[in-house]
Amino acid sequence: MIKLSNMSKSFGKQTILQNVSVDIGANQITGLIGPSGTGKTTLIKCLMGMEKHDTGSIQIDDTAVPNRKLLNKIGYMAQSDSLYHDLTGLENIQFFAHMYGNKISKQNVQSILDLVQLEQDKKKLVQHYSGGMKRRLSLAIALINQPKYLILDEPTVGIDPVLKLSIWNQLHDLKKDSTLLITTHIMDEAMKCDQLLLMKNKGIAASGSPQEILENFGVSDIDQVFLKLEEQEYENAAAN
């Protein structure tokens, strides 16, 4: 389980996250959603230990973050693709497997390439990949070490709808052995998650299953939840 307790993070005088407390359950897909600038990527970087939180605590498997040993349990896909463009897709996978200290089997490579549908392009230099192909390769690399925790920052940006559906089907299969945290701006993807964390005003404004959140706010889609939160914020400001 991932557990955040009263976690805060600032950059200079600007507070990005304030007193965030949430449990992210094991073997499920948790969606992290919210408008740009609400701290989703900062929260993920704190979870990874890439940014040090200022106050509170973050624990993964009862181990305090940051901890280098935890990185072997985590597969991470960043918003921006970090790939070697002068290597082929296959060489990128092999290189990052070596960085993890894994001797990745041909069977495992094949299953990953099949998942992201890059088998036919595995020997093509990444500099010749489209944006969508680079995102798919980044996802493949995140899966190399068969992680217990899979953290994906907008993994399906630039991917066509048919492949996107296939990837989401595979993500649901992966949760049998992994815990997934995914950021997305696509509301139909949010509805595919087991748990949603709605971020607003430096913290978690609402959480629960997609259906629970819709019922609690008395609306029919997630976009309307954010409109309701805006209305509540305006009413509270007017009252004060």
How far apart are alpha carbons 13 and 144 in whole angstroms? 39
Q: What band does 44 get if pLDDT is binned at 50, 70 and 90? A: very high
Q: In what order do the strands lie in the sheet with 2-11?
A: 14-24, 2-11, 55-60, 63-64
Q: What band does 105 get if pLDDT is binned at 50, 70 and 90? A: confident
Would you state the pLDDT for residue 37?
Answer: 85
- pTM for the model stands at 0.88
Would you state the pLDDT for residue 47?
Answer: 93
Residue of higher predicted confidence among 34 and 106: 34
The domain limits of the chain are 2-239
Range in 50-59, 99-108, 189-198 the model is least confident about: 99-108
Would you state the pLDDT for residue 102?
Answer: 65
Q: What band does 155 get if pLDDT is binned at 50, 70 and 90? A: confident
Residue 104 has pLDDT above 80, yes or no: no
Range in 80-89, 139-148, 154-163, 179-188 the model is least confident about: 154-163
Residue 238 has pLDDT above 80, yes or no: no
Residue of higher predicted confidence among 149 and 102: 149
pLDDT digits (tens, 9 = 90+) for 172-205: 988 998 999 999 888 889 999 999 999 988 899 9
> Can you spell out the DSSP letters for the chain?
-EEEEEEEEEETTEEEEEEEEEEE-TTSEEEEE-STTSSHHHHHHHHHTSS--SEEEEEETTEESS-GGGGGGEEEE-SS----TTSBHHHHHHHHHHHHT----HHHHHHHHHHTT-GGGTTSBGGG--HHHHHHHHHHHHTTT--SEEEEESTTTT--HHHHHHHHHHHHHHTTT-EEEEE-S-HHHHTTSSEEEEEETTEEEEEE-HHHHHHHHT-SSHHHHHHHHHHHHHHHHHH-
Q: Which residues pair with 10 in a beta bridge?
A: 15
Supply 107's token pair.
């069977």
Look up the CATH superfamily of 2-239: P-loop containing nucleotide triphosphate hydrolases (3.40.50.300)
